[in-house]
Amino acid sequence: MSFQFRYDNQSRVVYLLLYGEATLDNRIRAARQLVAKYGHLKPLRILADVRKVSRLSMTLDEQRQYGSFVASVPELRAARIAVLNNTQLNTTAVMRKQARQGGLNFFSFLTEAEALQWLTSTADVPS
């Protein structure tokens, strides 16, 4: 899996595009690099687009491990995170559940417009 970051000055949102084959190692690498580059932003707003992930090569245990990992990163715990999933291949369900158990909530959206609306609003939970 490859990834790219882009910061939008106007909306103050970090765009994280993930594509290709997803593994535990490359997901952790993406999260670490995102935090290293943008972790200083307050608030940290992240739009993670995983719609171009073509294959999830992570066992259930690795998915849970990743969910626990992201929940343990202080900068991510304080972040507002929206995820755009591929409707044919949900690559975040197990990770999202594990992260939630660790105290980190991130929410999935069908469209970028809905995700951006929530990311830039004051609502705690998407409506």
Residue 101: what are its φ and ψ, rounded to 5°?
-65, -25
10-residue mean pLDDT profile of the chain (127 residues): values are 92 96 94 97 95 91 94 94 84 84 89 94 79
Check if the beta carbon of residue 44 is closer than 8 Å to that of residue 78.
yes
What pLDDT was estimated at residue 1? 61
How far CA 27 is from CA of 11, 30, 43, 121, in Å, comes to 25, 5, 22, 27
What pLDDT was estimated at residue 40? 96
Q: Any residues with CB less than 8 A from the CB of 31 and at least 6 apart, and which? A: 69, 70, 73, 76
What pLDDT was estimated at residue 127? 67
User: Bridge partners of 3?
Assistant: 18
